[in-house]
Amino acid sequence: MQNLGIAITGSGSAVPGTFLDNQGLSELVDTSDEWITTRTGIRQRRLATTSESVTTIGTAASLKALEMAQIEAKDIDLILLATSTPDDLFGSASQIQAELGASKAVAFDLTAACSGFVFGLVTAAQYIRTGVFQNVLLIGADILSRWVDWEDRRTCILFGDGAGAAVLQANQDDHLLGFEIKSDGTLNSSLNLAYTPQQKELREGVSISKGNFANVTMNGKDVYRFAVKRVPEVIDKALFRANLTVEQVDWLLLHQANQRILDAVAERLSIPSEKVISNVANYGNTSAASIPIALDEAVREGKIKTTDTIAASGFGAGLTWGAAIFKWGR
């Protein structure tokens, strides 16, 4: 009988070696360690140097995930890279494919900002459930330091760089128990990394739009209100689809945007703090990488154990949000 269930069998993560703590950041902009910590819970963030890229850290995280899953790169059928900051606008998944030597794999990028890993998990699952692919490598990687205004204390205090990966494999038992994903483009202006066009005349009467991307802009209050309202709702919907109650959740694994958001969502769901996975203090908001980095650390620290039930939820630009309920391991 063909295995059409899904098991998440390996995880890995990688972050740049360079870090900037709040004290160091206070020398760049008008802020302080106390101001940042009380409002966000962030104490430091990792920043990629010119020798580091989405490809290098994504590859490093992938190798660790493959090793844990006890699978070789040549056996991967699909590589999905969730990123908003590719090294190449045409896509970076194929660059990671080349570095890994995953010659059999189809590789492409997926963009859903900070929801990217959850959206990627749901996308990967469909390929497995339909019998198209057996082994999928899902990566969340972002280098937002490239696109942050380091003179804007509203945004530069929040973001960091990193990569996380997970291996999804066809399995007799389906461990992806339920999911729900959402988008609302009417709220798009709340969080942007927008293209800024500049007119360039090629010849008389013929002009094109030539430009670059602006820095990250965000309405923090709008994003906070959106997150604390929509995330509990989407987790409830995913739990309903999984035929589970919130009491049956072993771990709440949220996008690591802000400790206040993590606390507020947990409180609204009546999930005790000891079940909430948080590493936002060490890395800040790493966008699509935040959930898989936190997952990998919790697995390697022995917190998350085989068959533990995890409620994961991402939320961010788009605006997008989603939740997936899954059991860890086979």
Q: Two tokens at 119?
A: 């959206």
Phi, psi of 99 (to 5 degrees): -65, -35
Please indicate, yes or no, if residue 197 is contained in any of the structural domains. Answer: no
Please indicate, yes or no, if residue 31 is contained in any of the structural domains. Answer: yes
Please indicate, yes or no, if residue 273 is contained in any of the structural domains. Answer: yes
Amino acid type, 229: K
Please indicate, yes or no, if residue 311 is contained in any of the structural domains. Answer: yes
Amino acid type, 116: G
Do 22 and 119 fall within a single domain? yes
Do 118 and 248 fall within a single domain? no
Do 161 and 14 fall within a single domain? yes
pLDDT in tens, 234-287: 999 999 999 999 999 999 999 999 999 999 999 999 999 999 999 999 999 999
Give, to the nearest 10 degrees, the angle between helix 54-69 and helix 290-300.
Answer: 40
pLDDT in tens, 281-307: 999 999 999 999 999 999 999 999 999
The boundaries of the domain holding residue 123 are 5-176
Task: Check 114, 156, 175, 215 and give the catalytic one.
Answer: 114
Please indicate, yes or no, if residue 32 is contained in any of the structural domains. Answer: yes
Q: What total of structural domains would you count in the chain?
A: 2
Please indicate, yes or no, if residue 283 is contained in any of the structural domains. Answer: yes
Do 164 and 257 fall within a single domain? no
According to DSSP, the residues that pair with 21 across neighbouring strands are 44
Count Cβ atoms within 10 A of the Cβ of residue 330 and give its class: 0-12 exposed, 13-18 middle, 19 or more buried.
Answer: middle
Do 171 and 84 fall within a single domain? yes
Q: Two tokens at 3?
A: 């295995």
Out of 144, 176, 208, pick the residue that ends a domain.
176
Task: Check 156, 215, 255, 282 and give the catalytic one.
Answer: 255
pTM for the full model? Answer: 0.96
Do 229 and 171 fall within a single domain? no
Q: What is the CATH number of the domain that holds 53?
A: 3.40.47.10
Task: Count CA atoms within 13 Å of residue 110 on its CB side.
Answer: 25
Please indicate, yes or no, if residue 53 is contained in any of the structural domains. Answer: yes
Active site residue 114: yes
Give the sign of the dihedral formed by CA 102, CA 104, CA 105, CA 106: positive
Do 37 and 158 fall within a single domain? yes
When computed from its CA atoms, the radius of gyration of the chain, rounded to whole angstroms, is: 19
Share of residues in the chain with pLDDT > 90 (%):
97
Do 139 and 158 fall within a single domain? yes
DSSP states along 61-105 = HHHHHHHHHT--GGG--EEEEE-SS-SSTT-SHHHHHHHHT-TT-
Do 78 and 147 fall within a single domain? yes
CA dihedral 79, 82, 87, 89 (to 10 degrees): 100
Q: Is the pLDDT of residue 206 over 90?
A: yes
Do 134 and 9 fall within a single domain? yes
Out of 125, 143, 176, pick the residue that ends a domain.
176
User: Is residue 315 within 8 Å of residue 257, measured between CB atoms?
Assistant: yes
Contacts of 247 (CB under 8 A, 6+ apart): none
Out of 176, 202, 231, pick the residue that ends a domain.
176
Q: Residue 247: which region, alpha, beta or left (left: phi > 0; alpha: psi -120 to 50)?
A: alpha
- β-pair type (309-316, 320-327): antiparallel
Do 96 and 232 fall within a single domain? no
pLDDT in tens, 39-91: 999 999 999 999 999 999 999 999 999 999 999 999 999 999 999 999 999 99
Q: Two tokens at 171?
A: 């399995």
The Cα–Cα gap between 159 and 196 comes to 21
Confidence of residue 1 (pLDDT cuts 50, 70, 90): low
Do 14 and 148 fall within a single domain? yes
User: Is residue 143 within 8 Å of residue 159, measured between CB atoms?
Assistant: no
Please indicate, yes or no, if residue 103 is contained in any of the structural domains. Answer: yes
Active site residue 156: no
